Structure 1
């Protein structure tokens, strides 16, 4: 079983990847998307979204991080894929799943699911541009407004030479509302020969098991579930118990050190409050924590509250 950590724009950056891969259980990460429009981007753009490129394309705990590209022009995507590989990315991922209106309006992300030929052309151009031993993966949803092209799109991506396909088992219109239609991944699997990865609505080990059973996929990608339960991958793989609240509070203190002393320190209070929003699903204590810090704006005050939750004297 392979468990991948999903890319989540504005949430799962290199600091979060470092934190969650240290907790353990993840076999691969994918970056937030590098937006490609009509030019070859400078190296600094790739390093900004994937600092791990400075360290062999891996997190400090050794988990590979694949650069994700988003765009609509095959040749520009191909040229930027070459740059990603030259800088050390262990593969290239193509985003055909982003539901954001601003992205879709400019023909990026999930809107391309309406154009099967465009998916083929993009994957084929990128596949041809990078060395044959380098993985080229793609992430799709089941469709834009409906699922009528789900199988055709997956077949086109397969025929274009993709190495792997992640399927978020909802359409763009369905967004993130439950349920996820895992059985559709099983339908896609009947028509594709490449490895599939199931994604969507995996919050617990029991969800993961049901997803595997219904999708007929062993490999999984988790996103929001990993934020709600930081040791989710270990719960799935090793039947580990969910992390205790005090341990999680200690983890949040570690994360605080990353954020405060990293390059995003000024965003720290809002980032932690955002994370509490995900944690509330798994931990009732997160609601109390959020209420304790909601009006705080200074990092040291927030860390003091966290230490009380963790039972640690600062």
Structure 2
């Protein structure tokens, strides 16, 4: 190689550095573009985590959940109402020519939230979320009934899998234990050779089993009602969205009604439970949870604008996993393999 053909070493190293910098920048840009392209997924995941943590926190607070919800619904009503009335200049009490759909949305949205809380009194969060997400199937069936959509083979398969999943996820062994305990009780009552102490202890065990099982199945009933009301709410909202009813107006109407219901329950409950209002918890935890739920509502709305509804529904079922993790972290509560099989359906 001649002297004119030789390239200085410092120019080669500078070119290599520039090329590597460009490649690293292009990789970061591509990664950032991909993340922004699927930002709806990240919004949905963040909203689910916040919602699960806030809901689970209600179990750790030494106050009645409905008392906390008074502050939450009050805060949400103020925010949604102010945004709709003063910022967007919407009519917050209008039905937009759909009085039945509007009434159903108010009643079913409030019913979904309140029965979900009622079920949370008696069920672990993982079990509650497993039952809650059956609303996807019920909503598809209601759409067939009210919107004359075709009932497909996929809908039938989903319905069968949902029923099987419910049976597996809602502790069928508890029902078996209850029935066997009742059978044992009738057998023991006829056996006169048993001692008095053994009879009393066995009866006590059976009674506690019956009570715990009955509370558990009461929670299942509330959770099932919550999933049905959620499905009806989705159908009603679908009709209202077709008629261009703003989401902020729908949210204000349901939170205001839910606030009234929570207040009535709280007042009536104190006729037989005369404990004072937990003002400290209501104003601190209630406001924090209200703000967190507002964030989740915002994230859900952003996710719906960016991603497919079916994909978001599948991501929403991760609430079951979050519930299992939180229960294990705080209570060391684990679920059986049968629960995970049922929840996967």
Which structure is richer in relative contact order (CA contacts within 8 A, separation 6 or more)?
Answer: 2
TM-score bracket, normalised by the shorter chain, equals under 0.3
Task: Please identify which structure carries the higher strand content.
Answer: 1
User: Structure 1 length as normaliser, TM-score?
Assistant: 0.25
